[in-house]
Structure 1
Amino acid sequence: MKKSVFLWLLVLMISQGLFAQEKKYLVFEFIRVDPNRVFDYLEYKDFLAKVYERALQNGAITGWDLWSLQSGTEGEPFQYATITYYNDPVKMMNGNDLDQLVQNAKEAFPDMSETEIASRFRDAIDNQDLAVRNYMVEVARTDDSYNYRPGTLASFDLMKAVEGKFDEYEKAEREVFLPIHEKKIKAGLMENWRFLRTAVPTGSEAKSTHMTMNVYSNYVQFFNSMEYEDMDATESQLMEVEKGLKSRDQKWVYLATLESMVR
């Protein structure tokens, strides 16, 4: 009896460990750049891509993206967003350590002195305004094999769960909206979808609590997807959709194009 209980506990711990390893953590950074210094920033992003390539090789991250933004909120004219991917929440929280970034840069650019590297980072800070940083954990995603590539389109939809309906909203995304996106993918109207929750606890005044990433291969697919209507949906399913929509407030949407990536 004791042996069987021990084996059951061992299997449970292993399965929990495997599940934890599969969890993905993402850091979104929304960036404003002075219009007169956009060229300088674009030079810096090539430098930064090499730095994150080294971070990937060192096992600190699992990927990095730079997206240009075409739309957003009035009064918050972000031109770019970066996404850094992690498989561990501790690595995520330590991912913006400047000393570690400098060390990765020294490995990526052995011909540059530490003074030159530090100067490059200082110039970048002067050229950009890192206005918003969101630490997110992936809650659900579509079952697909799409590989991101430069030119990929996405909409970043930032949501705030209605107070008192946090669990109801997450259930709606997993059980109501996820199947809809799976249908779109099978119909060739979408490539990938992710549902993310803010990983760092926030209070009731937070601007958003969740985000969805809706990913498309091109603008034709994007606009066709906007016209999609599930003709097979039952009245009960439509009621569940309406209920799900009422459990969250869509704060704002960014349409983005993937400019460069590290995998």
Structure 2
Amino acid sequence: MLLVVGLLWAATTRAQQTQYMVFDFIKVEKDQLFDYIEFKDLLEKVYRQAFNDKMINGWDFWSLQNGADGGDFQYIMVTYFNDPVKMMNGIADEEMIQYTKIAYPHLSDVQVRQLFQQSLTMRELPMRLYMKVLAATEDQFQFKQGVLASFDLMKAVEGRFGDYEKAEIEVFKPIHQNRIDRGLMGHWSFLRSALPLGSEASSTHLTVNLYKDYMQFFNAQAYEDMNQTDAQRKAVNEGLSSRDQKWIYLATLENVVR
């Protein structure tokens, strides 16, 4: 009986620890970039209220390195949840307005609603990803302004979905953990889309690679493990063949709620 209870407790604990993340890729017109930069600071205060209310587990706002003149997006907003239902429900507009009132008590109801509507008109959300974390390295990485991230969108080769996930968890995770232990990286995590996808989906998975600064980032790019065995190299190559790396977004953390 104790064994059964222990197993049930462990399963429940793992479920509670599973992390879900929503990635919002944001596009802002050039003539509104300055206004939006100011607005993201307001967002931080609003999401801080949602965090304090246990609606979310955290929130990040990242600036992409492509700048205003390149690419389809300028920013990535990441919201963390501990529950898939909370993730799918998100934070309703009216709840956002109420959190804005708490964060800015000097603003009237009319002013808050005008501010909220202005924010909706100055940006587009061309892409949103609902993701579930499957694996992550053991580390003490600190999220703070200025850290770097590489968001790598992946698509598993058709018919090799399981092979790809096994390769990321059993082959690539230990490699990234080794880099972290050597001080060449800050954090790595592997995510799968939390929603059912068809064969025409542009991506199925995402890896997040975090670095404390550019020095660590470039040292990691230059590092090559000369001690890999032939079997390890074969496993890496087989893993690479099971997925298509669709796109890499390099970003800098500008705002964070933890």
TM bracket (short chain): over 0.9
In the alignment, residue 199 of structure 1 is paired with which amino acid? A
Q: Deviations over 1:172-218 (max 9, x none)?
A: 00000001001111111101001011111111111110000111111
Q: Aligned equivalents of 1:248 and 1:106: distance in 2?
A: 46
Structure 1 residue aligned with 2:10: 15
Match among 195, 200, 217 for residue 222 of structure 1: 217
1:1-263 alignment, distance < 5 Å: 4=1, 7-71=2-66, 76-263=71-258
In the alignment, residue 204 of structure 1 is paired with which amino acid? S
Q: Aligned equivalents of 1:30 and 1:117: distance in 2?
A: 24
Deviation, structure 1 residue 76: 4.1
Q: Aligned equivalents of 2:133 and 2:66: distance in 1?
A: 24
Deviation, structure 1 residue 96: 3.6
Contact persistence 1:32–1:129 (CA under 8 A):
yes
Give percent identity, aligned residues only: 51
Q: Aligned equivalents of 2:155 and 2:204: distance in 1?
A: 5
Runs of 4+ in 1 over 6 A off after TM superposition: none
Contact persistence 1:71–1:253 (CA under 8 A):
no
Q: Matched residue of 2:54: which SS? A: coil
Q: Matched residue of 1:202: which SS? A: coil
**Runs of 5+ consecutive residues of structure 2 not aligned to the other structure:** none
Q: Matched residue of 1:19: which SS? A: helix
Deviation, structure 1 residue 99: 1.6
Contact persistence 1:32–1:130 (CA under 8 A):
yes
**Runs of 5+ consecutive residues of structure 1 not aligned to the other structure:** none
Q: Matched residue of 2:159: which SS? A: coil
Q: Matched residue of 1:82: which SS? A: strand
Q: Matched residue of 2:45: which SS? A: helix
Q: Matched residue of 2:113: which SS? A: helix
Q: Matched residue of 1:9: which SS? A: helix
Q: Aligned equivalents of 1:99 and 1:192: distance in 2?
A: 35
TM-score of the two chains, using structure 2 as the length reference: 0.96
Q: Matched residue of 1:138: which SS? A: strand
TM-score of the two chains, using structure 1 as the length reference: 0.94
Give the number of equivalent residue pairs: 257
Q: Aligned equivalents of 1:97 and 1:253: distance in 2?
A: 30
In the alignment, residue 54 of structure 2 is paired with which amino acid? G
Q: Matched residue of 2:61: which SS? A: strand
Deviation, structure 1 residue 87: 0.9
Deviation, structure 1 residue 239: 0.4
